[in-house]
Every structure is written in C-alpha cells, then in structure tokens.
Structure 1
Amino acid sequence: MQDLASVRRLEALGFRAWPAASIQYDGSWQVRLTAGHPSKRLNSVNPLDPSDHRDIEKRVERTAQRFRAYGRPLVFRQSPLAPPQLDAYFDAHGWRRFDETRVMTAEIGHLDLDAVLDHLPIREIGRYVDASIQVHGRDRALKPGLTEVLSSIRPEAGFFVIEEAGSGPVATVLCVHDNDMAGIFELATRSDSRRKGHAREVVTTALRWARMRGAEKAWLQVEADNVAAVSLYESVGFRETYRYDYRQAPETADGD
C-alpha cells in the first residue's frame, strides 16, 4: 500500500523546489501556472487529496478557463494523491495518459560519495542557465523564464556545471537542499559527451555538497521511459517511491 504521507512530503518538496509563478486552489486541487516557462510541472493541476472528488466536471471546466486565460493547454498531474474518481472521469472522456514519471529516493548516508571529486556550485544563475540550455539543446528563448523560475527557489540551491577545456559545459544539474532533503533536478549531458561518466560525476558531486550541508535523504523525478537515466540513478543507489503521470483532453496537445 502506498505511503501517502511520504508522497505528500515529496510533492511539497517538489513544489518548493520548482516554484510556479501563480498558485491557486480549487479545494485541494493546486492549480500551477507560469506564463514564462512551458514546463508541465509549472503548468498543471495537481490534486492533493484522494477524497476530494466532488463536482469533478464543473471544477475541470473552471480550471480549463484559467488555463485558457494563460494560453496554456489544460494538464492534470496525477500522483497517488489524486482521487481515483478523477482518473475514472478522464478515462470516460477519452483523456490520454502520458509522460509517466518515477519519483526515486535514496538515503545519502548509504551512498558511496567519499571518492567523488569536489566541484563547487557556480554562483551566477545566468551562467548556469546558459550552460543548461546549451547542454539540453534547448531554445535560448527559454532563458528569461528559466532564470525567473530558478531565482524564485527559496530553499538553498546548488547550480552545478561540469566543463571540459576547449569544449565548454558538458553536464549540468540543479540540487535543492531543503532541510534534511536534497532534490536533484534538470540533469543533462551534452549529446556529444555522453557515456563518459559526466552525468554520474555531476550528480554525485551535487549529493556530496548536499550531504555536507546536512541533507540525509535525496530524491528526484525521472521519466519512466528514460532507461539510461533510470539505470544511472539506480546504480547510484536510488529506488522508486511512487509514480505520477499526466492527463490531457484528446483535442489538446502537450507542450514541452
């Protein structure tokens, strides 16, 4: 049986670590919207109570109106906290299910981090954003929105970049230290520099940094079909805690 208390804590950590510009509530449904960035985590409805399933049709329409006002497609992010009746409603109306994601955790004290090379996080958000966009191969038009999101993070954030002389950044990751927890986000390795150990190096470096600041447990989110990333995280010591996915009406298309 799913440990909903653990799910609630990890969901709350995720919201703090990846803050949306606008947060509203419809009952226990958290409506997150961000005009400057298309991330689904920043632009989705997040039901947070399995027992809150009243007036589903009316509430879905209300949230659809909010998303239309933002120019965003309506997306529901369905974790174990979402009521089963809501999924049944989506099934009955032909809403598709996509981008299943695994939430994984690890006890930092059980990880082998002593031989990890120390890399200090960089201080300039703009420099990290430039490196992240380059390594991910993303559109540079996302820079203002990503900078705004990262600047809004309230817990301590470590921005890590692995660089090679002559070729620039090859791997990036964001580590958010929140009390005894450390969240790993936005891991990427440049396409021409994969399978060289850069991803493991930058992740373990970030975890070592978090451990030195008192973090005891690490967590992350990774798409279930990203076999290479899941394999990397499992080899480091992460194990699955729960999954979530997204639901969307058949007449709309998901963004990035």
Structure 2
Amino acid sequence: MEISASGRLEVRITAADVGKRVSVRRMIKDVAEGEKFTDTVGVLTSWDKGVLLITRRTGEMVQIAESSLVAGKVVPAAPARRRGPAASYEELARVAARAWRPGESERLGAWELRAASGFTRRANSVLPLGDPGVPLDEALTYVRGWYAARGLPAYIQTATGAEGAQELLCAELEARGWTREVTAELWIGSLAPIGDLEVSDAPIGDLEVSDAPAGDRKAPEVVLSREADDAWLGRYQRKGLSDVALRVLGSGPSVWFATVPGAEGEPPAAIGRCVVDGRWAGFAAVEVDPARRRQGLATAVMAALARRALDEGASAAWLQVEEENTEARAMYAGMGFGPHHAYHHYRWIPGSGAADGGSGVGDPYRSV
C-alpha cells in the first residue's frame, strides 16, 4: 500500500486512473471480527458516484465504496508467469483464433465477427481485439443484427487478467445487459517437457495415471493423421457434425489429429488435436474412453502430438480449460502448464438491457 512520508496510508488513485491496474485496501465490517482490512488487486474498471469497480484477473468484479478506502495506488502490470514462455494477451488471442477458424467472418474495425453454424462459442462470437471503429453502442447494435441474420445468438469473447485484456469492455457489456455465460482459462507451458513424457513417468495428479507400478505401464500406440477420420470422430464428444463443424476442426496453420485405437469395432480409446503455428502448439479435444482412464492415454496422446510439433519448430504450448474441470487442471499443471489469462463469453439476451435486439434463438452450444 502507498505510505506517505509521515508513515500514514494514503489513497493515491483517482477516477483518472480508470483502466489502470491498482491495489487498494479498504475497511469492512465483519459480524464476527468487527472492523478489518481487506486488499483487492485488479483493473480499475470504473469510478462512478462514489463506487469503484475493480476487475480481478479471473474476471470477478468487486464493488468498493469510496468511503471505505484506506489506501490505494497504481501498480505495475502483473509480473511474468513463473511457468512457460513469455507471451502477450494479443499474441495468444490471435494464435488461438487461427487454430479454430469459423466458417464465415467479417471485420468491424479491429473486431472480428465469426460464425460457424453454431458449432462452439469460440467460432460463433466476436473477437474484439481493439477499436470497432464506431461508438460502442453502434458496434453492439451491428453485432446483434449480424448474428440475428444468421439465426444465432450474439456472443462477444473477452479476456481478463493480462495486460491489454478487456476488463473495461466487460464492464461496459454488463452495464448494457449482456450476460456472462462461460468463463475458462488459457494456459501455457514449455513444449519440450511434454514431448519427453512417457506413460511410466506421467505427471503426478494426471487423471490418466494408472495405479500400476511404473515398469508395468506400457506406452499405447498413437496414430497421427492430418484429418479427423470416422474413427477419431467416433470418440469426439460432439456427434452428428455438420460440414461447417468439420471445416472448423480441420482449420489452422498445421493441424494434427492423434488416435489411440480401441478394441476391434469400437471407437478409439483416446484422441487429441494439435495445431502448430510458429512457436506455438495448441492442444484441444483430448478425450479418453471412460473405461480406459488412469492408464496414461491422455499423456501419451499429448506427448505424441508435442513431439510432432517440436519437429515442426514449435517450442511453446497452449490449451484452454474450463474453471470447473478440476481433474484436467490438475493433469495440465502436472505437465508444466499454468494460467495466462481468463476468457469469457458474453451473450445478448433480447429484452435483458437498455437496447433490445438479437435473434431470440435457443442456445445451440455445448462447449466453449
């Protein structure tokens, strides 16, 4: 906290610091403990009518009464992550977008409107990397109309927790009645350690690790292919995919699909997908037959894909994981991944805000 020459705490932030990362201390009243201090660090998103709104890295928004402030100051951007390569939010957002291309897209200033017949929110949402070139309300009206014309709900994908992310836009969307439906995180890590993994030394906490002695774990066969064949699709969690969805799955600079064959006549025991893009390898769709879990299959799939990506010159890895997927998070942490930023999908629900619009269609999505 900011301390003056006299040794007293001081509030050294004002409304002019909106958009900056701040650290504040406030006094709150606790029924059990009486008055106590609590600290909040995040982006100062607004300061209006005596109330501060601070957005934490996770996207959580905290309202703080100005009258409760004890100290406050502007602080530097969050330090570099302890795990994985250095990377900016914009770099990762563009890499992730290239790995999951929509069937159709249109530019609105620096915003990209994306549609893919409802296959995943990522391919059917706005990626707002910069200024839309028109006032925000005008941009949102255009977005609602664009998705309505395609029979889709309007979504905007935002991010928090990294320098250059969109805490201010999140607050503006919520003020206008947009609803946050999904929050996930993008994690990064070094690629070489993943390629070096074997079933016998899969990371502690890996939900796929067998209880059998290390020497008894046999590496499964992993087949790599440039296309998602019928066998791979037989294990993929989404069934009855349209041609548009198949094109999304196959999109990206250099796409690889991994398959661990199952028993004869059965879907694969495990699958995975990787997109190589320069120094980055992005992992997705790592799925294992529930009856074959705790056998190291997810580890084997990711290791095989990582080795292929290393051969193509990649050195860093990324993936996306939902907040509630605790088992996957433990596995990825054991592989050396760590969170870089959180991302969110905001949906316009007709009648929910000051300005109406949109398609009113149901939610066709089952994943981020």
Q: Which TM-score bucket, shorter chain as reference? A: 0.7 to 0.9
| One-letter amino acid matched to 2:98 | R
The aligned residue for residue 40 of structure 1 is: 121
The aligned residue for residue 189 of structure 1 is: 288
More helix by share: 1
Gaps of 5+ in 1: none
User: What is the deviation of 1:198?
Assistant: 1.5
1:98-137 matches, within 5 Å, as: 98-111=181-194, 113=196, 115=198, 119-123=222-226, 125-127=227-229, 130-137=230-237
Is residue 47–residue 82 contact of structure 1 (8 Å, CA) maintained in 2? no
Q: Tell me, what secondary structure is at the counterpart of 1:71?
A: coil
Q: Deviations over 1:32-63 (max 9, x none)?
A: 1123x5211110011112x6696212211101
Give, in whole Å, the separation in 2 of the partners of 1:144 and 1:190: 25
Give, in whole Å, the separation in 2 of the partners of 1:108 and 1:52: 35
How many residues are treated as equivalent by the alignment? Answer: 249
| One-letter amino acid matched to 1:56 | L
After TM superposition, the score normalised by the length of structure 1 is: 0.86
Gaps of 5+ in 2: 1-76, 81-85, 200-218, 351-359
User: What is the deviation of 1:13?
Assistant: 0.9
Change beyond 3 A, Cα 1:151–1:137: closer
Which stretch shows the higher mean deviation, 222-231 or 93-102?
93-102
Is residue 179–residue 214 contact of structure 1 (8 Å, CA) maintained in 2? yes
Q: Tell me, what secondary structure is at the counterpart of 1:199?
A: helix
After TM superposition, the score normalised by the length of structure 2 is: 0.61
- Does residue 156 (structure 1) correspond to residue 259 (structure 2)? The answer is no
Give, in whole Å, the separation in 2 of the partners of 1:120 and 1:239: 28
1:87 to 170, 175, 178: 170
Give, in whole Å, the separation in 2 of the partners of 1:152 and 1:98: 26
- The root-mean-square deviation of aligned C-alpha atoms, in Å, is 2.5
Higher relative contact order (CA 8 A, sep 6+): 1
Structure 1 runs of 4+ aligned residues shifted over 4 Å read 2-5, 51-54
Please tell me whether Structure 1 or Structure 2 has the larger radius of gyration of its CA atoms.
2
User: What is the deviation of 1:11?
Assistant: 1.0
Change beyond 3 A, Cα 1:86–1:114: closer
User: What is the deviation of 1:17?
Assistant: 1.1
Is residue 159–residue 166 contact of structure 2 (8 Å, CA) maintained in 1? no
2:347 to 223, 248, 254: 248
Give, in whole Å, the separation in 1 of the partners of 2:191 and 2:263: 31
